[in-house]
Chain A
Amino acid sequence: MKYVSEYRDRAAAEEYAERIRQLVSREWTIMEVCGGQTHSILKYGIDQLLPEKVSLIHGPGCPVCVTPIELIDQAIEIAGKKDVILCSFGDMLRVPGSVQDLIGVRASGHDVRIVYSPIDAVKIAAQNPMKQVVFFGVGFETTAPVTAAAIIQAAHLDLNNFYMLVSHVLVPPAIKAVLSSPGCRVQGFLAAGHVCSIMGYIEYEPIAKKYNVPIVVTGFEPLDILEGIHMCLKQLEEGKAEVSNQYMRSVRRSGNPEAIEMMREVFEVTDRKWRGIGAIPESGLGLKKKYMKFDAAERFGVSEHSVEESGDCISGQVLTGEKKPDECPAFGGKCTPEHPLGALMVSSEGACAAYYRYRYRLTRSNR
């Protein structure tokens, strides 16, 4: 398939792996920021092709995983109200709140729908004037422009029954948080190609400089990731710390100006809590004042509360790269994709789910 199969070619992958082996002279630790990349690495076994000296740490780039449990509880609370249609992306439905998930809410008779785009939620609102339609908007900069477009469209249609529970998050502040954490072992980053296709990579340049780390904008196919790793290692071996772009077929330095403009129109940067990590200053997007009439939290007066997460879950340490998923005592026992303790076990892009799905070794006793 065009732009897919040629990036999964075995001979080319082996060639890259060989080049990496020849390049590496000492131990290096690289973080892939994006959950999509983590998923690819485990699905295709990319790490198995790397020399032992190179370790990959899986970063916090899974939007489902970092959405605070309190916000999921708010979505569940709203979905349970009369005459509400709650719309969200598919993998958000299975994320456990403190007592149940959105699939459970749907099973008990409430209207919870999977949409592929927030624009679909606007359509549902236009078609159902007697219902209150709420879009649960999560994601990084990749999905933020479409969320913004939905708000602009709702405003244009003058809809009075469309609302949004917004929890958009931003990648650069998360990279800074990882680099500032005391136990940080990360020496180089693969930045998320999709995010940079929207935002470009100008904002990563001061980070590379300040923290002296190479950052390589990287795609999602096996060969993209191998090439990104190679580019990152080359910089490390040469003592460089620059931003370079592996994903040239999608990413320009200045990104997509129309998309950025749409985000600026609708959102402003706010502080945001990340599940498993905690509050990160200026790391999220919230609705601007002029669009507050679309704010679901305000409209439905959802309860502000704070939830104590399961003590057995070490997702915070996994998200910052301090521990691997299978180092968690609950992994595969108390915590499985069917019964996740933390969000990393839920989303297909969560590191724990990817480890479980592609790596979990069954023992004789539980076969």
Chain B
Amino acid sequence: MISAESCPIPISDYPEVTMAHGGGGKLMHDLISRMMYRVFSNPILDAQHDGAILKIDGGRLAFATDSHVITPLFFPGGDIGYLSIYGTVNDLAMCGAKPEWLSASFILEEGLPMETLWRVVQSMGEAAKRTGVAIVTGDTKVVDRGKGDGIYINTAGVGVVPDGVEISPSRVREGDAVILSGDIGRHGIAIMAIREGIDFQTVIQSDLAPLDGIVSELLEADLDIHCLRDLTRGGLSSGLNEIASAGKVSINIKENLIPVREDVLGACEILGFDPLYVANEGRFVAILPSENAEKALDILHKHEDGRQAIIIGHVTEAQYANVIMESSIGAERIVDMMSGEQLPRIC
């Protein structure tokens, strides 16, 4: 009986939830694997994909969910409304599915201006229209003033996986090419700049974008794509570490090949952040046989959000670490999964 078990995360670790438990790094993964996976374990969940793949008579559905708790609600390049739709759409796209139906649940804080809510709802409508999904069910709750951050939105979505498409970390093979769809770190730095009131001279726009269109073109081109992963919290490092770990392989990348905009790099330098660990909302990695990589790049380069797509490395047999990077000066280092949350350093 579950209730008879002691808490699987020893009290000495952290007796209470900290922000780092939601930061997309190792602490969050430990929490999920030691609590959620342990109690909820089943073959579908255990596949550890961005969403669940459900086999139904004659086909497969992908099912994913995402909660959005962002401050500020509006930021350069988007808002919580767009984010709540694209977040789930992207998770479905990463399963190789065509997103079809979404739910939307709102937790609103007493005192939230109606005007703000209206703007967010309109953004969600626009985002749904742009990605061709229908918001088919939902829920609204209000909490006391001071007990929420204005608006929290949860969305869940269902998509249809086309026949023949099989996207999973377990399909990743030695020699596969690793494609990154564009420059990294913009969403995280855009949010950080506003939240902390840091003026970086230029306004850095979030990279927030729906990825369903670009992914469906890749899938239609019959390139035998083995794995897809959108890079959200925890950045490129977490995405690659998750794939390597689940696929029981290593991934070798080169620092010089990873696109980072100058203003993002500058902001990272000031804050003491590593762009590899900064959040994105419109970037993904695609892993596929090397011989098909150039064709994939041709497709990506035609898209607004894939113009800077580039092969950043390749898959090798499992080595001493999940992700190994050749540094800009030609030496070798490990790219570890982020530990907790990135904290600005002293000097």
Question: Known contacts A10-B256, A361-B321; is A116 also within 8 Å of B344 by CB?
Answer: yes
Pick the contact of B320 from A13, A48, A362 — CB < 8 Å? A362
In B106-147, the 8 Å CB interface with A consists of: none
Complex: A60 Cα to B266 Cα, angstroms? 27
Complex: A93 Cα to B14 Cα, angstroms? 14
Question: Known contacts A139-B346, A338-B26; is A103 also within 8 Å of B196 by CB?
Answer: no
- A1 in contact with B343 (CB, 8 Å): no
- B336 in contact with A360 (CB, 8 Å): yes
- B346 in contact with A89 (CB, 8 Å): yes
- A114 in contact with B343 (CB, 8 Å): yes
Asked whether B13 is an interface residue with its Cβ less than 8 Å from the other chain, the reply is yes
Pick the contact of B328 from A10, A48, A348 — CB < 8 Å? A10
Complex: A171 Cα to B322 Cα, angstroms? 38
Asked whether A140 is an interface residue with its Cβ less than 8 Å from the other chain, the reply is yes
- A45 in contact with B332 (CB, 8 Å): yes
Across-interface contacts of B269 in A (CB, < 8 A): 1, 4
For B13, B344, B346, which residue has the most chain A Cβ atoms within 10 angstroms?
B346
Across-interface contacts of A116 in B (CB, < 8 A): 196, 198, 344
| Least CB distance, B5 to chain A, in whole angstroms | 22
Question: Known contacts A104-B18, A194-B347, A348-B272; is A48 also within 8 Å of B27 by CB?
Answer: no
Across-interface contacts of B26 in A (CB, < 8 A): 337-338
Asked whether B339 is an interface residue with its Cβ less than 8 Å from the other chain, the reply is yes
Complex: A63 Cα to B320 Cα, angstroms? 32
Asked whether B4 is an interface residue with its Cβ less than 8 Å from the other chain, the reply is no
Complex: A48 Cα to B329 Cα, angstroms? 10
- B339 in contact with A338 (CB, 8 Å): yes
Across-interface contacts of B198 in A (CB, < 8 A): 116
Asked whether B265 is an interface residue with its Cβ less than 8 Å from the other chain, the reply is yes
- B329 in contact with A63 (CB, 8 Å): no
Across-interface contacts of B213 in A (CB, < 8 A): none
For B26, B333, B340, which residue has the most chain A Cβ atoms within 10 angstroms?
B333
Asked whether B67 is an interface residue with its Cβ less than 8 Å from the other chain, the reply is no
- B340 in contact with A338 (CB, 8 Å): yes
Question: Known contacts A103-B19, A338-B340, A357-B334; is A8 also within 8 Å of B13 by CB?
Answer: no
- A90 in contact with B331 (CB, 8 Å): no
Complex: A14 Cα to B346 Cα, angstroms? 31
The total of chain A residues at the interface (CB under 8 A) is 52
- A107 in contact with B344 (CB, 8 Å): no
Q: Chain B's interface: helix, strand, loop or mixed, by majority?
A: loop
- Beta-carbon contacts of B316-343 to A below 8 Å, as 1s and 0s? 0010111000011111111010011001
Asked whether B220 is an interface residue with its Cβ less than 8 Å from the other chain, the reply is no
**Total contacts A-B at CB 8 Å:** 128
Across-interface contacts of A140 in B (CB, < 8 A): 347
- A91 in contact with B329 (CB, 8 Å): no
Question: Known contacts A90-B343, A222-B329, A338-B339; is A358 also within 8 Å of B334 by CB?
Answer: yes
Question: Known contacts A103-B19, A104-B14, A348-B345; is A49 also within 8 Å of B320 by CB?
Answer: no
- Beta-carbon contacts of B215-228 to A below 8 Å, as 1s and 0s? 00000000000000
Asked whether A242 is an interface residue with its Cβ less than 8 Å from the other chain, the reply is no
| Least CB distance, A190 to chain B, in whole angstroms | 16
Across-interface contacts of B336 in A (CB, < 8 A): 356-358, 360
Asked whether A122 is an interface residue with its Cβ less than 8 Å from the other chain, the reply is no
Contact stretch, chosen from A36-44, A269-277, A313-321? A36-44
Question: Known contacts A104-B15, A104-B16, A108-B16; is A338 also within 8 Å of B344 by CB?
Answer: no
Asked whether A290 is an interface residue with its Cβ less than 8 Å from the other chain, the reply is no
- B347 in contact with A90 (CB, 8 Å): no
Complex: A181 Cα to B88 Cα, angstroms? 59
| Least CB distance, A100 to chain B, in whole angstroms | 8
Pick the contact of B331 from A36, A48, A108, A114 — CB < 8 Å? A48
- A44 in contact with B345 (CB, 8 Å): no
- A45 in contact with B327 (CB, 8 Å): yes
- A92 in contact with B346 (CB, 8 Å): yes
Asked whether A264 is an interface residue with its Cβ less than 8 Å from the other chain, the reply is no
Across-interface contacts of B328 in A (CB, < 8 A): 8-10, 44, 222
- Beta-carbon contacts of B26-41 to A below 8 Å, as 1s and 0s? 1100100000000000
Question: Known contacts A103-B18, A360-B334, A361-B321; is A44 also within 8 Å of B329 by CB?
Answer: yes
Asked whether B20 is an interface residue with its Cβ less than 8 Å from the other chain, the reply is yes
Asked whether B17 is an interface residue with its Cβ less than 8 Å from the other chain, the reply is yes
Question: Known contacts A1-B262, A139-B346, A347-B345; is A45 also within 8 Å of B333 by CB?
Answer: yes
In A343-367, the 8 Å CB interface with B consists of: 347-349, 356-363, 367
Complex: A1 Cα to B16 Cα, angstroms? 42
Complex: A14 Cα to B327 Cα, angstroms? 13
Asked whether A148 is an interface residue with its Cβ less than 8 Å from the other chain, the reply is no
- A44 in contact with B327 (CB, 8 Å): yes
| Least CB distance, A141 to chain B, in whole angstroms | 10
Pick the contact of A103 from B20, B320, B331, B333 — CB < 8 Å? B20
Across-interface contacts of B272 in A (CB, < 8 A): 91, 348
**Can you name 21 A-B residue pairings with CB atoms under 8 Å?**
A1-B265, A1-B269, A10-B328, A13-B329, A49-B331, A89-B344, A90-B344, A94-B340, A103-B340, A107-B14, A107-B18, A116-B198, A116-B344, A194-B347, A337-B26, A338-B26, A338-B27, A338-B30, A358-B336, A359-B334, A367-B248
Give me the 10 closest cross-chain CB pairs, A-B, nearest first: A45-B331, A90-B343, A13-B329, A90-B344, A48-B331, A337-B339, A107-B16, A358-B333, A89-B346, A8-B328
B-to-A contact residues, CB < 8 Å: 13-20, 26-27, 30, 196, 198, 245, 248, 256, 262, 265-266, 269, 272, 318, 320-322, 327-334, 336, 339-340, 343-347
